[in-house]
Amino acid sequence: MPVCERNLDALHNACQRAAEFADWIELRLDCLEDVPTDLTALIENIPNPLILTFRPSEQGGHRHSTLEERKRFWTSVAPHANRVWWDLEEDVAHNLAPDRSRIIISHHDFSGVPSDLEQIYERLSRTPAAVVKIAVQANDIVDCIPVFQLLDRAREERRLIAIAMGNAGIATRILGPSRGSYLTYGALDDESATAPGQVNARNLRSLYHIDKIDNETMICGLIGFPVMHSLSPQIHNAAFVAEGVNGVYLPFEVHDVTQFFKRMVHPRTRELDWNLRGLSVTAPHKQTVMELLDWMEPKAREIGAVNTVVVEQDRLLGYNTDAAGFVAPLIHRFGSLADRRVAIIGAGGAARAAVWALREQKANLTIFARDVAKAKPLTDLFNVGCESLSSASFAGCDLVVNTTPVGSGAQTDQSPCKREQLNGARCVYDLIYNPKETRLLREAGELGCETLGGFEMLAAQAKLQFSLWTGKQAAADDAD
């Protein structure tokens, strides 16, 4: 666990907190405003094995330093025990000759994945360092491929730390140790990451159960952009543990879904040997993936969207669990939905499953869109009416459903409609689940409407996904 603080007192306190979750602690000394030449007292008070790092700014450090300054630092701070290691950049390592048994030689590239990655590894491997560390920037999920391939190559020696930085590279941080990486890095908390995409160490252990991942672990994940806000990892990883499944569920930030399926997913073409079993699919990929599958259930084809992929032998199978997940909490609350007057806000991908499910329940539907012309393909597909959202009144509606992303992410202070439009509606259902209470739900509650958030739908459709991937039924409270 890297610890980055501005003074020694704060550094010592952070180390005490880090000791609860970390096997090793890395002291990022480049974060200190004043770096002492004697760290004996600090080191002796930390029971964990330590890595001492003074990273220059051009390699991702927090302060500018010359090579001579770093040389003086490393030569003046002597190791105090066998549990102290040193992380050195290549230029420093070539000019010093410390005990090779405790040296990590590092190379960082924050622009992307260099084309000569294997040559860099070979060059660093020829140094006296005991462990080689290579960290590169992943701009898309497929950038993880050369990192995993490098780990496969070095697996027998197990003296390589290979990481793809950024949200698109999180899989390398979580799966790396099970694939031969010497170690991985976990942040003290969400605010103290020392590199892009660094996962909270508490989550590495308690959410992803990194200590239990092995070659047999079934890998599932969420593909989309963005994905880091999703609660799906909490739901599925909890279900794996509760049902005794050796599985892990990861967030996969995917920009080019076609390349991802070709190079990492499809068993006939993928370049990565991993036990990938299933995928959840979110925006903006629910329709694009349909062209990349070998088989699709009729319901998903009718809806025009796939949110679940199962890898079965050498085939990819597509399903839609959104529709059933969407309607399950409504049936629980209303019983029959037949002839209920329902207003759907939005005409995008999320609206497709909602409209299909409500038509199956024989509800009386109207779509309300900002741009009625853009909503026409959806209204024509399902033969439902469409009106302008700006002039709508939902008085008398049994149910108002928000299928747009307005109210989440950078738009948490916004609502898809005006407060007064909700007056007189019985129930407002927002498919957004993060935040738990959106502005739309808050204003609806203030007007006396019943409210329903998106987490119930998320959990309901996740149970169906879990069954498709594992053949087991998840208990109702597995996601609690």
Q: What is the pLDDT of residues 32-73, one digit of tens each?
A: 888 776 777 778 888 889 998 888 777 666 666 666 666 666
> In the prediction, which pLDDT does 406 show?
94
End-to-end CA distance of the chain: 28
- Same-domain status, 239 and 209: no
- Same-domain status, 36 and 178: yes
> In the prediction, which pLDDT does 99 show?
61
Q: Which of 301, 321, 341 lies at the terminal end of a domain, its last residue?
A: 321
- Same-domain status, 236 and 262: yes
* Confidence grade of residue 96 (pLDDT, cut at 50, 70, 90): low
429: domain CATH number? 3.40.50.720
Q: How many angstroms separate the CA atoms of 480 and 357, rounded? A: 26
- Same-domain status, 313 and 334: no
Question: Considering the domain boundaries, does residue 470 fall inside one?
Answer: no
Q: Which residues contact 399 (CB under 8 A, 6 or more apart)?
A: 330, 334, 340, 341, 342, 343, 363, 425, 426, 427, 428, 429
Q: What is the pLDDT of residues 312-371, one digit of tens each?
A: 999 999 999 999 999 999 999 999 999 999 999 999 888 999 999 999 999 999 999 999
Q: Is the pLDDT of residue 415 over 90?
A: yes
Q: What is the pLDDT of residues 453-465, one digit of tens each?
A: 999 999 999 999 9
Mean pLDDT in residue range 446-475: 93
Question: Considering the domain boundaries, does residue 469 fall inside one?
Answer: no
Which of 188-197, 227-236, 252-261, 309-318 has the weakest average pLDDT?
Answer: 188-197
- Report whether 337 contacts 357 (CB < 8 A): no
Could you confirm whether 212 is annotated as catalytic? Answer: no
301: domain CATH number? 3.40.50.10860
Classify residue 20 as left (phi > 0), alpha (psi -120 to 50) or beta: alpha
Q: What is the pLDDT of residues 211-236, one digit of tens each?
A: 999 999 999 999 999 888 889 999 99
> In the prediction, which pLDDT does 473 show?
81
For the beta sheet containing 427-430, the strands, ordered from the edge strand earlier in sequence to the opposite edge, are 385-388, 364-369, 341-345, 399-402, 427-430, 450-452
* Confidence grade of residue 387 (pLDDT, cut at 50, 70, 90): very high
Maximum separation of any 2 CA atoms in the chain, in Å? 80
Q: How many angstroms separate the CA atoms of 396 and 423, rounded? A: 9
Mean pLDDT, the chain, whole residue set: 90
* Confidence grade of residue 478 (pLDDT, cut at 50, 70, 90): low
Looking at 132-231, list the stretches that DSSP marks H as alpha helix, in order from N- to C-terminal side: 144-154, 170-175, 201-206
* Confidence grade of residue 472 (pLDDT, cut at 50, 70, 90): confident
Task: Fill in the DSSP letter of residue 416.
Answer: S
Mean pLDDT in residue range 165-175: 96
28: domain CATH number? 3.20.20.70
Question: Considering the domain boundaries, does residue 466 fall inside one?
Answer: no
> In the prediction, which pLDDT does 97 show?
53
Phi and psi torsions of 252, nearest 5°:
-115, 110
- Same-domain status, 152 and 70: yes
% of the chain residues with pLDDT over 70: 92
Q: Is the pLDDT of residue 141 over 60?
A: yes
Question: Considering the domain boundaries, does residue 478 fall inside one?
Answer: no
> In the prediction, which pLDDT does 64 show?
65
- Report whether 208 contacts 248 (CB < 8 A): yes
Q: Which residues contact 263 (CB under 8 A, 6 or more apart)?
A: 142, 145, 269, 270, 271, 272
Q: How many angstroms separate the CA atoms of 244 and 212, rounded? A: 12
> In the prediction, which pLDDT does 78 show?
52
Task: Fill in the DSSP letter of residue 408.
Answer: B
Q: Is the pLDDT of residue 21 over 90?
A: no
For the beta sheet containing 315-319, the strands, ordered from the edge strand earlier in sequence to the opposite edge, are 247-253, 218-224, 276-281, 308-312, 315-319, 295-296
- For 155, the domain range is 2-213
35: exposed, middle or buried (Cβ count in 10 Å: 0-12, 13-18, 19+): middle
> In the prediction, which pLDDT does 363 show?
96
Q: Is the pLDDT of residue 80 over 90?
A: no
- Same-domain status, 184 and 241: no
% of the chain residues with pLDDT over 90: 72
Which of 187-191, 293-297, 355-359 has the weakest average pLDDT?
Answer: 187-191
- Same-domain status, 255 and 292: yes
Separate counts of helices (H) and strands (E) for the chain: 16, 21
- Same-domain status, 130 and 85: yes
The larger pLDDT score, comparing residue 264 to residue 29, is at 264
- Same-domain status, 386 and 415: yes
> In the prediction, which pLDDT does 382 show?
92
Question: Considering the domain boundaries, does residue 94 fall inside one?
Answer: yes
- List the structure tokens of 28: 């990022």
- Same-domain status, 88 and 111: yes
Q: Which of 266, 294, 321 lies at the terminal end of a domain, its last residue?
A: 321
- Same-domain status, 173 and 300: no
- Same-domain status, 300 and 327: no
- List the structure tokens of 246: 């050796």
Q: Is the pLDDT of residue 245 over 80?
A: yes
Question: Considering the domain boundaries, does residue 252 fall inside one?
Answer: yes
Mean pLDDT in residue range 76-80: 55
Question: Considering the domain boundaries, does residue 433 fall inside one?
Answer: yes
- Report whether 103 contacts 88 (CB < 8 A): yes
Q: How many angstroms separate the CA atoms of 359 and 347, rounded? A: 15
179: exposed, middle or buried (Cβ count in 10 Å: 0-12, 13-18, 19+): buried
> In the prediction, which pLDDT does 66 show?
67
> In the prediction, which pLDDT does 98 show?
53
Q: How many angstroms separate the CA atoms of 392 and 386, rounded? A: 11
> Which one-letter amino acid corresponds to residue 158?
R
Which residue in 286, 299, 436, 472 is the catalytic one? 286
Q: Which of 297, 321, 345 lies at the terminal end of a domain, its last residue?
A: 321
Q: What is the pLDDT of residues 279-294, one digit of tens each?
A: 999 989 999 999 999 9
Question: Considering the domain boundaries, does residue 474 fall inside one?
Answer: no
Total of domains in the chain: 3
